[in-house]
Copies of this chain bind each other. A is one copy, B any other.
Amino acid sequence: MKQRYVTVLCFSVLLPIILTGQTVNAQPANSIQILNLMPLPQSITTDTGILVIDARFYAGFDGTHDSRLNAALDRLLHRLDRECGGIRRAQYEGGASAANVLLLKVAGPGGVVQGVDEDESYSLTITAQLAVLDAATDVGAIHGMETFLQLITTSNGECHLPAVTINDAPRFPWRGFMLDVSRHFEPVDVIKRTIDGMAIAKLNVFHWHLSDDQGFRAESKKFPRFTEAASGGMFYTQDQMREVVAYARARGIRVVPEFDMPGHTSSWLLAYPEIGAGEDIRALPTVFGIPQAELDPSNEKTFKFLDTFVGEMSEIFPDAYFHIGGDETAGKGWIENPRIAEFMKKQSLKTPADLQAYFNRRLLPILAKHGKKMMGWDEILNPELPRDIVIQSWRGEASLSQSAEQGFTGILSAPYYLDAQKTSAEMYLADPVPANTKLTADQQKLILGGEVCMWAEQIDPETVDSRVWPRTLAIAERFWSAQSDRNVEDMYRRLRVASLELEDAGLTHISGPERLRRNLWGSANPEVLEVMASVVEPVSFSDRYQGQHTDALSSLDRLVDAVVPDPPARVEIAREVNEVLAHPDSDDATAAELELRGRFAAWQRVSPELEAAALRSPRLSDLEMMAKQLGALGTMGLEALADLHLRTRAQAGWKDAQIATIEAAGKPSGLVRFVFLPAMRKLVEAAAMAPN
């Protein structure tokens, strides 16, 4: 029999494990762990029974709908057909005795331009007879459709969904993903599949970093030299940008364009030196970093230019916000230019930061004239700016808290820089408003959410997906789900499932690196390389930047590009080691030990072949040191397991030798690093302590 409980949104205590009839928030309880939802909804009530999706199944609207919602339902049915077969189109257009149907009840389309205050909530009720998706807006319904698809499982040649009631809404209204397309360009296809991934992750802001020193990527008809002189031919036409905006809107996603100024503007000044502070830019810089190139705030022409440009871009990007960048403007060029120095004196602007604040104050009415609010990085924070600008914090939580204390709205990005190559777990646990925040309730409301950031110095169209996904899903859950949802193990379990869903939707984060590895290895079956690749990850942006000064011309097709951040083996090996150590006598430990033994033996086995390949081929030379170390680590693991298993104490000096090997292996080589060393250390230490 069906039971309902009152939904507890901010629930944070473990509920007893009951398989059905249980309302919980998203905290770990086995009743939820059988589902694979990501991000976790605010509440789920499970019930007995399943809704079968077979040839009789259809879908339609109970009430009116607009073309956006109709297209969204078509996409849902296409995906359903792919998974389950035999389903083609919505047929339902009303009726009382509904069965075998997904009914959409949507009150209205929502904002003509989607706003920060869009109602994104939905509820989804599935019984053995039908599924009902209720939402106030198209955007809520679009989120609910993703949840519906994630509930599908198959058995007996049929698709079905469990009987559940889900009530859901996002914790934060601003759940963004920033993509830099200046350092390396990404074609429209990549943008679209990124937006597809965002829709699955229930993210709602695509922040498009369209200009930077290395290239200006947005076509301007008023200022054609931007792309003629400063894009290397790689830019988006106005039609393409409109297409992306429409594509995003169809998926409940806003597009916020960023044109970074007054610094990071080499590309601007290559095209239009007349609005610059005087630096002589002859070419797009190929070396990354912060070149000296600033707009000239002392020149009225600059603001006239920006007025025209912002006006033109505002026609293309309907969002309420316009991101002006504003980061990392050292202002050296300002100080060095006597005319600008004189201007600063006259205006009583003591520092470049003061001049930048002046620049922003002048920009503000220009944005307002074109219907836009200002958004920018930490550096734009200035008491003289209105409080409804959005501060995007790349400096961290403390910086964001300070801006909230001053009454500014803001979003957090610092912990979500994907090129830092942190684990999904680490980014998942970083919270825009952590439980221990010192902000008042009103100040907390000023934190609108966060944005994942993908800077593009070290990515290209072939590698972008594997840097972005699946880790971005974990962060997206942080932005959507309850603060108390912090079960890392369950997050990883669901991440594995959602990751496959993303590949199926067109992302290439699994297949892309596989392809690169095949090309590196030069054989149809790079099985040997796979063993290595599964246990290493790229070093961080800064380690790579220092280790190999990759510039804009380097091809990104080495081992580091062909391996993925936070590969599943990290979590798996840690779990296996924990099981072996925690329950030495149980069956679980036996299974885990067998797994580990298989891994270690494989490392031993492939090590000589990897080393030989590294010595033979220049393209694989990055592998050499790691190949040797992998073999030694495999031997170490087998010895440790044997010691544990036989309950013998390892020989004197064994432990110290192993720890030294582990520490040596901890230094990255070939721009990659092993992901299992803490677990190996734990295993070695336990083995060294094993009783006689």
Q: Which residues of A contact B (CB under 8 A)?
A: 78, 81-86, 154-159, 187, 189, 496, 499-500, 503-504, 508, 510-511, 514-515, 518-519, 522-524, 555, 557, 568, 614-619, 621
Contacts of A615 in B (CB 8 A): 156-157
Given contacts A503-B519, A519-B503, contact A154 B617 (CB under 8 A): yes
Contacts of A515 in B (CB 8 A): 503, 508, 510-511
Given contacts A504-B519, A618-B84, A618-B85, contact A496 B511 (CB under 8 A): no
- Main secondary structure, interface of A, reads helix
Assess the B496–A510 pair: CB atoms within 8 A.
Answer: no
Contacts of A621 in B (CB 8 A): 85, 157
Cα A84 to Cα B157 in complex, Å, equals 51
Contacts of A499 in B (CB 8 A): 524
Contacts of A618 in B (CB 8 A): 83-86, 154, 157-159
Which one of B78, B157, B187, B518 lies within 8 Å of A500 (CB-CB)? B518
A501 shortest CB reach to chain B, Å: 9
Cα A320 to Cα B70 in complex, Å, equals 48
Contacts of A189 in B (CB 8 A): 187, 189
Question: 19 extra interchain contacts, Cβ-Cβ under 8 A, other than A157-B615, A504-B519, A511-B518?
Answer: A82-B557, A82-B619, A83-B618, A84-B618, A154-B616, A154-B619, A155-B616, A157-B614, A157-B618, A158-B618, A187-B189, A189-B189, A500-B518, A500-B522, A500-B523, A503-B515, A504-B522, A511-B511, A511-B514
Assess the B81–A555 pair: CB atoms within 8 A.
Answer: yes
- What are 13 A-B contacts defined by CB distance under 8 Å? A82-B555, A82-B557, A86-B618, A154-B618, A157-B615, A159-B618, A500-B519, A500-B524, A503-B515, A504-B522, A508-B515, A510-B518, A524-B568
Q: Which of A86, A504, A523 has the most CB of B within 10 A?
A: A504
A631 shortest CB reach to chain B, Å: 19
Cα A511 to Cα B562 in complex, Å, equals 14
Contacts of A518 in B (CB 8 A): 500, 503, 510-511
Cα A513 to Cα B337 in complex, Å, equals 59
A283 shortest CB reach to chain B, Å: 15
Contacts of A156 in B (CB 8 A): 615-616
Contacts of A158 in B (CB 8 A): 618
Contacts of A82 in B (CB 8 A): 555, 557, 619
Cα A316 to Cα B669 in complex, Å, equals 51
Cα A187 to Cα B190 in complex, Å, equals 13
Contacts of A78 in B (CB 8 A): 555
A151 shortest CB reach to chain B, Å: 15
Contacts of A616 in B (CB 8 A): 154-157
Contacts of A508 in B (CB 8 A): 515
A552 shortest CB reach to chain B, Å: 13
For the complex of A and B, the 3 pairs showing the least CB-CB separation, nearest first, are A511-B515, A154-B617, A85-B618
A583 shortest CB reach to chain B, Å: 26
A170 shortest CB reach to chain B, Å: 28
Q: Which of A524, A568, A617 has the most CB of B within 10 A?
A: A617
Assess the A83–B619 pair: CB atoms within 8 A.
Answer: yes
Cα A569 to Cα B625 in complex, Å, equals 35
Cα A162 to Cα B619 in complex, Å, equals 19
Contacts of A619 in B (CB 8 A): 82-85, 154
A502 shortest CB reach to chain B, Å: 10
A450 shortest CB reach to chain B, Å: 28
A167 shortest CB reach to chain B, Å: 28
Cα A86 to Cα B522 in complex, Å, equals 19
Assess the A524–B510 pair: CB atoms within 8 A.
Answer: yes
Q: Which of A496, A524, A557, A621 has the most CB of B within 10 A?
A: A524
Contacts of A496 in B (CB 8 A): 524
Cα A189 to Cα B462 in complex, Å, equals 13
Contacts of A523 in B (CB 8 A): 500
Cα A514 to Cα B526 in complex, Å, equals 13
Contacts of A187 in B (CB 8 A): 189
Cα A514 to Cα B524 in complex, Å, equals 11
Cα A621 to Cα B511 in complex, Å, equals 24
Contacts of A504 in B (CB 8 A): 519, 522
Cα A614 to Cα B96 in complex, Å, equals 36
Cα A615 to Cα B157 in complex, Å, equals 5
Cα A604 to Cα B557 in complex, Å, equals 39
A33 shortest CB reach to chain B, Å: 18
A515 shortest CB reach to chain B, Å: 4
A247 shortest CB reach to chain B, Å: 13
A622 shortest CB reach to chain B, Å: 10
**Taking CB as reference atom, which chain B residue is nearest A555?**
B82
Cα A159 to Cα B523 in complex, Å, equals 17
Cα A183 to Cα B102 in complex, Å, equals 32
Cα A515 to Cα B78 in complex, Å, equals 19
Cα A503 to Cα B86 in complex, Å, equals 35
**Taking CB as reference atom, which chain B residue is nearest A619?**
B83
A104 shortest CB reach to chain B, Å: 22
Q: Which of A83, A154, A155, A615 has the most CB of B within 10 A?
A: A154
Contacts of A617 in B (CB 8 A): 154, 157
Contacts of A503 in B (CB 8 A): 515, 518-519
A678 shortest CB reach to chain B, Å: 23
**Taking CB as reference atom, which chain B residue is nearest A84?**
B618
Cα A568 to Cα B514 in complex, Å, equals 20
Cα A438 to Cα B619 in complex, Å, equals 52
Cα A616 to Cα B152 in complex, Å, equals 13
Cα A617 to Cα B504 in complex, Å, equals 15
**Taking CB as reference atom, which chain B residue is nearest A499?**
B524
Contacts of A86 in B (CB 8 A): 618
Cα A155 to Cα B522 in complex, Å, equals 13
Cα A619 to Cα B152 in complex, Å, equals 13
**Taking CB as reference atom, which chain B residue is nearest A521?**
B500
Cα A621 to Cα B158 in complex, Å, equals 10
A472 shortest CB reach to chain B, Å: 18
